[in-house]
Every structure is written in C-alpha cells, then in structure tokens.
Amino acid sequence: MQLQVSEFHQFEAGGNPFLYLVPSGGIFAVDELSRKALAIAKENPREAKELLDALVATGATVEDARDCIEELVGARALGPEGGWKEPIDEAPAKFPLQTLVINLTNQCNLSCQYCYEFGEDKVATPEGKAKFMELETAQQSVDFLFKESAGRNSVHITFFGGETLMNFPLLKQIVDYSQAEAKAKGVTIDYSLTTNATLLRPDIIEYLSANAIGVTVSMDGPKEMNDQLRVFANGKGSYDIIVPKVKELLKQHTTRPIAARVTLTNGVRDVAKIFQHLRYEIGFHEVGFAPVTTSPTRLYAIDEKGLDDVLGQFEKLAYEYLEFALRGEHHGFSNVSDTLSELHQGISKSHPCGAGLGLLGVGPSGDISPCHRFVDSDEHKLGHVSEGMDSDKQQDFLKRGHVNAKYDCESCWARPVCAGGCYHEAFVRYGDTGHANLHYCDWIRGWTDLCLKIYGEIATHNPSFLNHFDQRKAS
C-alpha cells in the first residue's frame, strides 16, 4: 500500500510538536522519528517498505521504524493514497432527544437592544401565539421529551424565555410533573435556566438551590458596560437592580456552580475587565463570552478588526487559564473549558451543535423548533408537542446543516469542532441555516489553534488536569 500524509493541523506545545488529525479529531504527540517519517512521506507517497528503509537510513533501528510507521497509520496520520475513506455519517433517521429547551414565555421585562428574540434581526413570528406557556402545553412538552428520548437513562430540561422567571409558577409545575414522570420511568432528569436576574427573590433562589437547578445569568460586566444595552423599556440600566440579587444567588445557591454569560458588542468588548469584574468582584464560578449575533450593519456589531482584537484578548485570558490549569486550579473562563472538553473527547462533528438532533426548543405555543433561538418562528417550526415531530422537516434541516453539505468546510482543518457554526447565526447572516459561517472562519481557526496549544501544554505538564474533562463529559 502506498502511504501518504493524511490531513492534519500541526502545532507546537510545551516544546513538542503535535498533530491535530482531521477528520478524526484525534490529538497526537509527535516524537523525532515520527516527525522524520511524516516529512519523508510528505515529499511523495511511498510504499511502507520504502518508508521503513528511508527511516532506517536516518539511523533508526528496523524495529523502531516499523513501530513508528504502524503507530502513524494507526493514528491515521499516514494513510492510503487518496486518503482514508471515512465519510461522516448522515443524520440518523431516529436520534434520541437529550435536552429540551422550554421557553416558558416570550415576554421579557428588559429591552436589550441586541436581543435576537426582539431586536432587528429577530426570526420569531410570535403574532397570534401564546405569550406564556400553559400547564397543558408544558405537560405535553415533558411527555414529548420522554417519548423522544426513549433509550436514554438521563435527560435535561433547560428553562428559557423571554425572561424565564416571568413564568416561575409554571417552572415549578414542570419540575414536579417531570420529576414524577422520570421516577416512574427510571430516568434521571436535571434542570438549568437562563435569566436576566431582575426577578430573583429569596424564595426563588431557595427553590433553585433545593432542586439543584443550574443557573446562567446574562450580564455584560461592570455597570458602565452592562447598562449600555441591557436596559429596561424606559432606557434605565439593569445593573443596580440585578447586582444585589446576583450576590444573594451566589451566596445562597450552593448546589450548582453559577455562570455568567456575556454578549460582546462593539462598545462592550474589554474582555479582561469584564472577566475580572464578574469572576472576582461579583463571584461567578464561570464566565463565558459570545460576540453578538447580528447582521454586520448594526451599530453594535463587532467588525473584523474588532473580532481580531477580541481574539487577542481571549488569547491573554486563555494563557491565564493555562497558568491556573498547570497549578491544578479552576480558572473560570468557560470558553476555554468548553473547547478543551470537545478536543479531549476527540469529537468530529457531522453537525455544528445538537440543534434539531439531541436538542430541541419548544415555544410557549408548543411549537417545536431546532433550538431556543428559533422558537416561535413559523419558518423553522419542526412540529408541535401535541402532535410530535415533522420528521421530513427535521431531516431537511439536518441534511442542510451537515458538514458534508458545506462546500467551503470540506478542506478546512477546523471542521471537526466547527462543522460550519451556529445555524441561527448562519440564518441571520446568509438567510440559510445550512450556510457555513464564513465570516468567522479566521476566528474559529485562530481560537481552535490556541485551544490546541493550551491542550498540548496541559497534556505535557499536568496531564491529570485533563481528567476534569472526562467528568464534564460524564455530567
């Protein structure tokens, strides 16, 4: 068999060369002999025997050269001419649901100007639909989750809005109902919610803690940053209202780590300052950042130069994360943890995320959507919880979103982790959920390369820290 170098991305970490193998998503530390073997095979494809002779000619023993070639073939860094034929699976016709995002209401007491649900780029068409979910629809949603997740022994509900806590009584009813159903079926269930924190009260916090409901607070940093866009309808900033409530939440909710989620915009992108404030001055366990999803013409959109700047700031914070990791300490920059977790699991995605597959959204009306960001959108409706899924629509969504359907991604080394990026962002930018998010390829490749280096450094100097990502997977 003629052997040739397969598709990979090479990087250095901890003074050692590594390969990130595409499409398998494996990470492979390269020793001196392997480096030589790859360099020789790169000149032109050759028979295994020829390659072995060439390695022996450089001073390697026959045994070492043979082991080295076998290892490189086993890791798929070397492959047959024409590459390994391993097409990524098509979307399975039936895939058990794991997470249902239930939008308890589409109403919100804030008017954040960048909100994808209410802002200028909204895809929702909520006219004539329920504003608050009814108990019957909620129970049908839970029944739908258990029916569609058959075969799984654990499921998850995420509560979402609008502002989730505007319908807190229903949240409690859903927890009661779903816990009873889960018990009857012998399935584990857990919960999380996202909130703007304006409506938190001591009794709500106590309930969330008692039921181990994970909480993510949407908040954009210190007052002068948070209040630029996270405002009430009268234009008043939300910071002063939420900070005492968030501090109480962090003090009293002791059963799950509490996270902050920051939306970066043109005027709010001092990553270091925001992280410092939310992690250390407020006390969140984890802080995650996402650049705003919007068309590039909006005033608050981050332009290309701004995105480069954000990536530079992410890099600084990621190296701070590394220092903590090398000491075996928790840092809290969740963007790094999330990517390291994916790299550690060696994932190679057929689809960018679980939307429409293991994850679905359901709106207050009971309409099913690929995820929470498409809730209430007629164009993206995949069925109704009382009737079930429209599998033709689901298959069409998944077929268009498959990485193999994205021509530009075909030769990209970052596709195992990216697979074309968020469907919602693609729809806002290109009017097609199946379009690759080409406006951020440089960003995603830069970020993936950075996280690979961080991963390699940790693997070299404190490998036991990576066990943490086994646990993340398990959870």
Indicate the residue among 60 and 436 with the shorter CB distance to ligand SF4.
436
Nearer to ligand SF4, 60 or 403 (CB): 403
Contact predicate 363/376, CB 8 Å = yes
Minimum distance, C-beta of residue 417 to ligand SF4, in the bound complex (Å): 8
* Contact call for residues 225 and 190 (beta carbons, < 8 A): no
Binding map of ligand SF4 across residues 350-369, x = CB under 6 A, - = no contact: ---x-x--------------
Q: Is 336 a residue that touches ligand SF4 (CB under 6 A)? A: no
Residue 447 to residues 154, 313, 416, 421: CA-CA distances in angstroms? 32, 11, 13, 13
Cα(195)–Cα(214) distance, integer angstroms = 11
Nearer to ligand SF4, 45 or 446 (CB): 446
Q: Which stretch binds ligand SF4 (CB under 6 A): 49-57, 161-169, 411-419, 462-470?
A: 411-419
Stretch that binds ligand SF4, among 50-58, 238-246, 435-443, 456-464 (CB under 6 A): 435-443
- Kindly give the residue spans of alpha helices, DSSP state H, lying in 402-466: 415-418, 423-430, 441-461
Nearest to 151 by CA among 87, 213, 92, 211: 92
- Residue 436 interacts with ligand SF4 (CB under 6 A): yes or no: yes
Q: At closest approach, how far in Å is the CB of 376 from ligand SF4?
A: 14
User: Residues 6 or more apart from 456 whose CB is under 8 A from it?
Assistant: 11, 12, 13, 14, 16, 18, 27, 29
Kindly tell me which residue out of 46, 441, 466, 468 binds ligand SF4, with binding defined by CB under 6 A: 441
Segment interacting with ligand SF4, rule: CB under 6 A, options 16-24, 68-76, 227-235, 412-420: 412-420
C-beta of 418: minimal distance to ligand SF4 in Å? 3
- The number of helices, as runs of H, and strands, as runs of E, in the chain is 16, 16
381 binds ligand SF4 (CB under 6 A): no
Report d(CA 180, CA 174) in Å as an integer.
10
Q: Which is nearer to ligand SF4, 6 or 369 (CB)?
A: 369
Show Cβ contacts of residue 177 under 8 Å, excluding neighbours closer than 6 positions: 138, 139, 142
* C-beta of 73 vs 441, nearer to ligand SF4: 441
CB of 43 to ligand SF4, least distance (A): 27
With CA atoms as reference, report the closest residue to 218 among 148, 165, 180, 169: 165
Of the ranges 21-29, 231-239, 317-325, 403-411, which one interacts with ligand SF4 (CB under 6 A)? Answer: 403-411
Cis, peptide link before residue 23, omega less than 30° from 0 = yes
Angle formed at CA 440 by CA 439 and CA 445, multiple of 5 degrees: 140
Binding range to ligand SF4, per CB under 6 A, among 68-76, 249-257, 334-342, 420-428? 420-428
How many whole angstroms separate alpha carbon 69 and alpha carbon 60? Answer: 12
- C-alpha of 392 from chain center: 26
Kindly write out the interface string for residues 9-38 of this chain, putting x where it contacts ligand SF4 by CB under 6 A and - elsewhere. ------------------------------
| Distance (Å, whole) CA 86 – CA 88 | 6
Candidates 41-49, 118-126, 128-136, 404-412: pick the segment binding ligand SF4 (CB under 6 A). Answer: 404-412
Nearer to ligand SF4, 356 or 366 (CB): 356
The verdict on 76 binding ligand SF4 (CB under 6 A) reads no
In this chain, which of 445, 461, 468, 472 binds ligand SF4, going by CB under 6 A?
445
Distance CA 46, CA 33 (A): 17
Nearer to ligand SF4, 55 or 100 (CB): 100
User: How far apart are the C-alpha atoms of 262 and 279, rounded to whole Å?
Assistant: 12
Specify whether the CB–CB gap between 233 and 300 falls below 8 A.
Answer: no
Q: Considering the rule CB under 6 A, would residue 115 count as an interface residue with ligand SF4?
A: no
From 66-74, 183-191, 228-236, 414-422, give the range in contact with ligand SF4 by CB under 6 A. Answer: 414-422
Residues contacting ligand SF4: total by CB under 6 A? 23
What is the CB neighbour count within 10 angstroms for residue 212? 13
| One-letter amino acid of 308 | D
Interaction of residue 447 with ligand SF4, rule CB under 6 A: no
In whole angstroms, what is the distance from residue 170 CA to residue 67 CA?
A: 62
402 near ligand SF4 (CB under 6 A): no
**Choices 47-55, 244-252, 331-339, 430-438 (CB under 6 A): range interacting with ligand SF4:** 430-438
Give CA–CA dist 88/233, Å, rounded: 47
Does residue 408 interact with ligand SF4 by CB under 6 A?
yes
Among residues 48 and 353, whose Cβ is nearest to ligand SF4?
A: 353
- Among positions 245, 331, 380, 424, the unique one binding ligand SF4 when judged by CB under 6 A: 424
The residues of the shown chain that bind ligand SF4, judged by CB under 6 A, are: 353, 355, 371, 373, 406, 408-409, 412, 414-415, 418-424, 436-438, 441, 444-445
